[in-house]
Every structure is written in C-alpha cells, then in structure tokens.
Structure 1
Amino acid sequence: MSNFQIIATSAMGIEAIVAKEVRALGYECKVENGRIEFTGDSAAIARANLWLRCADRIKIKVAAFKAETFDELFEQTKAIHWEDYLPVDAEFPVQGKSVKSKLFSVPDCQAIVKKAIVERMKSHYKQVNWFTENGPLFKLEVALLKDVATITLDTSGAALHKRGYRAAQGPAPIKETLAAAMIRLTNWHPDRPFRDPFCGSGTIPIEAALIGQNIAPGFNRDFISETWPWMDKEVWRAAREEAEDLARYDQPLNIMGSDIDHKMIEIASQNANEAGLGGIVRFKQMQVADFTSKEEYGVILGNPPYGERLGDRAEVENMYSEMGRAFSKLETWSVYMLTSYENFEQVYGKKATKKRKLFNGSIRTDLYQFWGPRPPRKTE
C-alpha cells in the first residue's frame, strides 16, 4: 500500500492547532470533532508520530461502512484485505465503542470484528486454522457512530503525550499535548523571555524549550508501528534523521519555571535533564506574589490551582489577586492562565483580551489571555 487514510486524534478544542501542525508537515487535511484526517504514505505515519505536538494518537483508517446488523458488520469486515496489514503471527486485540447506533453491544461488535478478521486470514494464509498471536502487536478499534462502523489501526502505541522525559510528576500534571497547545496559543517566539510561575513537574517550560529549539516531541521514544514488518526500517531512520537535521540545538532560550514547592522544582529539573534540556530550562522555588522582572515583552503561561474543592477556594482567590498585583507591574508582558475558576477575571483584577475554552482532561477550563503590546520590530 502506498497511501493510507490517516487520522490524528485530538482533545476537544485544539483540533485547529493539530490541523495547523499537519499542514506544516506538508499534508492537506480536513478537521472534524476530535480528529484530523489526511492522506499519506508510511513516511507520513512516521513523521506525524514524531512531530505532532498536540495530537493524542496517529491511526490508520482501515475502513468505514454502514452496519445496522451483525451480519453486515461481519461481511464488510471480512471483505477488508487484512493480509495487507496483519502478518500470520500478528497479535491483534480489538477495542470498541458505540454511539447512537443499532449495534450498541460493544463486546459483541468486538467479537464479530475479531471473528471476521480470523476468517479472512484463514482463507488467505490457507493452511492456518488457528493463530498463535505471538508476533508484532496491532491494536485495532471498531467505532460505531450513527450506524457507521469505522475500523482503525493505532500506529502510536503509548499515547503521544508520553514523550519519554517525565521521570516523575506532581499531584495534578498537565498533559504534554495540552501544554504544547497552550504554548501554540501564545504569541511567544524563542527570542523572548518565557515564564511559568506554577511549573509543577516542569511540563510547560520543557514543552516551550522543545518548541523553541524545534526538537521533535517524539524523538526520545518508540512507536508500535516500528515493529511492523511492512513499515520499512529505512522510513523510520529517514524520519528520525530529518528530525535531527531540523533541530536547532544552538537556539538560545530564556525559559524559567517556578513553583512554591521545592520538591516540584527538583522533579522539574530531573525531567528537563531527561529531555536533554538540563541547563537550558531554569527552575526556581518562588511564590507567584514575588514575581518580578526587568526584562520586557515576555510571556507568562501557567496552569495554577483551580480551587475545585470548596476548602481551597479562599486560598486560591487570594493567590489569584496576588498574581494580578504582581503581573500588573509587567507592562509589556503577555499573560496566559488556564483555570476552571469562573470568576477569575474579577479576582485577578483585569478583564482578559480573549478567552479560549479548553479541556484539561475532563475539566472544562478557560485559557485567559491578557495580551501585552507587540515588541518593536528588530532592525538589522
């Protein structure tokens, strides 16, 4: 197969950011809720896995068809050329989900898809009556939506937010993919100061450094499709070589994370070292009320405590107002804060230039954006 229908899955609210990343790799795409679809070869699969900072997974769309009965699901699944995807020893578990469909029993749908694939492979591989499934892993999913079954094959393995640098984490870590999306939504450039005053285990500053030096986020990890016999090793080698060539390791950066908890500062430093960014990203124990800077045109991005529990509410409100007072002195800086706290602007003491709805896991949050002035144009 030379070309595949590829799906990059995404958290709600950041599809447009993922689509922009897909287009930056050179692929035209269409955007739907939670997914970005594009066409590409095996190199596109490798490059998407290595480069997409804000996507959750990269999947191959094997087929999509109407299925209102189990017979239809079985026959149409069996008609797929599974021998093109699955070697004789493939391990192929089938996941499932069903929304607003006549076939609502997910375990039954999974069992029927599995049986149909086995029947197809029996007829193709002739002598085989049963399959050992002790070879490479192929994770399949059948998803039914309004009676349309879509069968996909996961090329990523572990979700893409697992970059491989998080040696340890704090109590409420933000996903690396969401951190990258938030950075994309700021107007930060690598030649400007970047600060995270609630850095926790360091995810936002580390993601900023990866963006600043154009380091592919998947560079430090493996992907399930690297084990597949029809994914040429040369394709992966070339994709990793491209990532190495495009990295700007000599790009100077002014990035710092701070946190009130000294244990988190130790963890953040350890994670930065794991990411190969030791000494490039700085970390410091500090409370947000003490934040000052003589620098100009910087960007502050943070994921502060939300005060979700009633007992924490007063403490969090006090911290938000202290933050507002500290940041009000930074006249040229831009500030971006993610929180689910609905009266944030009132307590912070300023109306946001813009708000953007984002989901931090299952928590509905807003990214409050307070835009500073544009930095003056640099003259040669």
Structure 2
Amino acid sequence: MLADELSKLGAEKVLPANGGVHFQGNWKTCYQANLGSRIASRILWQIASTTYRNEQDVYDTTLALPWHEWFSSELTVRVNLAAIKCPLRSLDFVTLRIKDAVCDKFRKITSKRPSIDTVHPDIRIHGFLYANEFTLYLDTSGDALFKRGYRKAAGNAPIRENLAAGILSLTGWQPGKPLLDPMCGSGTFLLEAAQIAFNIAPGSQRHFAFEKFKQFDQPLWTKLKKEALGKQHPITQQPIYGSDLYGYALSDARTNLEAAGLLDAVYLKQANVLEITAPTPQGILITNPPYGVRIGETQSLAEFYPKLGDILKSKFSGWTAYILSADTMLPKTIRLKATRRTPLFNGALECRLLEYKMIAGSLKKNNESD
C-alpha cells in the first residue's frame, strides 16, 4: 500500500522492504512524501551505509559526515538506534558514540556543538545495525507522520492515523461508497476517510523537520502546500457514518472532526453496535473493537463476539466488514467465516484485520479457529 502511494507522490525506484519502503527522489519528492503520505510513519533520508566491525567503525563513519552542512549547531538533537543480529554488546554505548561523533564534528568545524533533547528534538538521527552493516538516516519528518496536527481528544487506546489510512486502502474503500465504524471511539477511521474524500493532504496542518535543514527551499515548500490546498474538494455531507455506545467517545470524535473542519461531512450518533442497522443497502464496515488485554474483559468479550457476528449476519447483508483485533478469541467466537486475514501491528500489538463478506448463510454452526 505504501509503495503504491509513494509512487503516486512522485517517488522513483520504489522498492518495498521488510517494515518499510526504499525510494529515491529530490527534495521536492521528500516534501511531497511528507505532505501527502497517509500511510508512512516517517520519511528518512539515508546519509550513510557501510560495513562495521566495532564501535569505533560506527564512530568514524558518523564523524566523517558533513553534519554542519545539513543543520545548525543551535538546534537540538536526538539519536535513535535499532538493531537486528548486531554483535555489539551495548546499543546504549553505540548510541552514545554516534552522538559523540556528531558533536565532535560540529566542535571541529564550528567550535560549537548541538544540545541533546530526547523529548522534543529539532533533529532526529536514526541509526540501524544489521550483522555487519551500519546505516544512518536523517529524519525529514520530525514528529511521526501519524500526528496530523488536528487531534484534540485521544480517547481510549486510539488507533494510529497512518494505520487507519492503510486499513482503508487495504479494504479498497473509495470516496462515495458508504462507510461505517460502529465503535468509532475518537473517530480516527472517520477522519481519515473524510480527508481522503476531500483530497486533504494529511500533512497540511503541521510542520516538519526538513523545514530546519540548511537545504530547505521555502519557496518550493510554499508552492507545494498551495498546490495541495487548491486540489481540495469543498466540504459536503458524505456517506461516512460513525457511532459509539459511549457519549464521551462520541464527544471526542466530534471534537476531532470539528478541529479538522470535517464535522459537517460525517454522520454521528450514539448507539449500541448490537442494536444498529445498516444505514445503506451496501457498504464497508470497519471497526477496531475492544481487545481482551485488560483483566476482567475476557468473559464479557466472549459473550460479545457471538452477538456481534449475529448482528452482522442479520443486519448487514450486502456489506463487507473489516475488524481489526489483537484478540485471538474473536475469530474463534464470532461465528463468521473470514474471507481474508491480514497481519498488522497496532503499536506493539500484533493484530489481524479480518474480512467478512456478509452474504446469506455466512453464520457458522461451529466455532472457527484462526
């Protein structure tokens, strides 16, 4: 999904990889990817890739880079390091060596060094160690891209915006087709769908780390944002429906939609998912129900899932339902036959996106195992 999206945004030599997508392009490509990608978590600029044997090799590679040409010593820095099959004993020590090399290079060239800020840094540096390969990246995004800039109320365990956008893409949903989230919480699926419907660039309401780079082209960035704004469609009522059992959750959804200027585009109502009916003869239902991850929830969910299956079968014939769940009980107890299972991660939780095509006779007599 991400590779297709980046290609449409102008990326070249797009290559899907484990956990990400490699691509090439110029600064315009970088700006457009940050502004327009709904699915990416971050856009990282690869600045070094080499072999290593020890911590000194990592330090030397980092020291050789022209950090002073990319950003000012007045800015704050954070170093993140990840590793797979790394032979070095301490990742904390390697992280420290990368930070030391950056600061030493600045001292050598400018007699000044950047400060470290692990909470709200201006510049994020990402390192990755694999067996004998060391790669360094400058983060062009800053805050993760799922932080669109409009969320005012988070609600309980909200799904990340880029995951919601990716799920919408996986379902094949298109603007104009009815969409329902019957357990909408703070409204993430509704917000992402509405932004897609009106062609609103997801990064149009926030700032990015590349704006602090010395290479930053302000006129180009202003032009790209203006062009994106000109491609937006007028806000009109859409067949996008959200409901939730709890009034406070619906209030959060309303707050977020209003902050994004999209409240008038979506239908909202307070309702129990076990008592609703389909708003249209056909459509797509997407929801992220509660998981049995807290003590005391297991029994209530064991009773809830079969009832949810009954409602989908009896009230949503003609619809396709997509349920994201980390609960292994759900596919066993919902008593519906999943037509597709897609592994996804909601944060650290491994989940399944379960697809159910609601046609007559889809209710199972026996429990299904995943």
Using the size of structure 1 for normalisation, the TM-score is 0.86
Structure 2 residues not aligned, in runs of 5+: 360-370
RMSD after superposition: 2.2
- Structure 1 residue 189, shift from structure 2 partner: 1.9
1:112 lines up with 2:100 in the alignment: no
Q: What is the count of residue pairs matched by the alignment?
A: 354
What is the CA distance between 1:371 and its match in structure 2? 2.8
Match of 1:350 in 2: 336
Alignment of 1:262-273 (within 5 A): 262-273=247-258
Residues in 2 aligned to 1:297 and 1:164: alpha-carbon distance in whole angstroms: 33
Amino acid at match of 2:220: V
- Given that residues 257 and 283 in structure 1 are in contact (C-alpha distance below 8 angstroms), is that contact kept between their aligned partners in structure 2? yes
The worse-fitting range, judged by mean Cα deviation, of 304-313 and 278-287 is 304-313
Residues 294 and 197 (structure 1), Cα distance of their counterparts in 2 relative to 1, 3 Å cut: closer
- Structure 1 distance, partners of 2:87, 2:113, is 31
Could you say if the C-alpha distance between residues 274 and 101 of structure 1 is closer, same or farther in structure 2, counting changes exceeding 3 Å?
same
Partner in structure 1 of residue 298 of structure 2? 313
Provide Cα deviations, 1:71-123, integer angstroms capped at 9, x if missing partner.
Answer: 32232222223333133534333333343223332233233223333444445
Q: Which of these residues, 238, 242, 261, is aligned with residue 257 of structure 1?
A: 242
Question: What is the CA-CA distance between 1:360 and the residue it aligns to?
Answer: 1.3
Task: Specify the alignment match of 1:39 in structure 2.
Answer: 24
Aligned twin of 1:24: 8
Match of 2:150 in 1: 165
Distance in 2 between the 1:219 and 1:253 partners?
A: 21
Structure 1: gaps spanning 5 or more residues? 1-16, 374-380
Instruction: Give the 3-state SS of the residue equivalent to 1:200 in structure 2.
Output: coil
Are the equivalent residues in 1 in contact too, given 2:302–2:329 (CA < 8 A)?
Answer: no
Q: State the alpha-carbon separation in 2 of the partners of residues 99 and 357 from structure 1.
A: 21
- Specify which of 263, 275, 278 is matched with residue 263 of structure 2: 278
Q: Residues 176 and 207 of structure 1 are in contact (CA less than 8 Å); yes or no, is this contact kept in structure 2?
A: yes
Q: Please, which moves more after superposition, 174-183 or 247-256?
A: 247-256
Quick check: 1:61 aligned with 2:46? yes
When structure 1 is superposed on structure 2, of 137-146 and 58-67 the one drifting more is 137-146
C-alpha distance after superposition, 1:4-44 (max 9, x if no partner): xxxxxxxxxxxxx2111111112231121112111111111
Work out the CA distance in 2 between the residues paired with 1:283 and 1:301: 15
Distance 2:279 2:71 in 1: 60
Counterpart AA for 1:335: A
Whole-angstrom CA distance in 2 between matches of 1:176 and 1:132? 32
2:348 corresponds to? 362
Give me the TM-score of the superposition, normalised by structure 2: 0.89
Query: Against the structure 1 CA distance between its residues 145 and 321, is the aligned structure 2 distance closer, same or farther, given a 3 Å change threshold?
Result: same
- Report if aligned partners of 2:78, 2:124 keep a CA contact under 8 Å in 1: yes
**Aligned runs of 1:193-342 on 2, under 5 Å?**
193-250=178-235, 252-293=237-278, 295-309=280-294, 311-328=296-313, 329-342=315-328
Is 1:151 matched up with 2:136?
Answer: yes
Residue 111 of structure 2, aligned match among 129, 135, 151:
129
Residue 222 of structure 1: SS of its match in structure 2? coil
CA distance in 1, matches of 2:112, 2:184: 52
Identity %: 32
How big is the shift at 1:48? 1.0
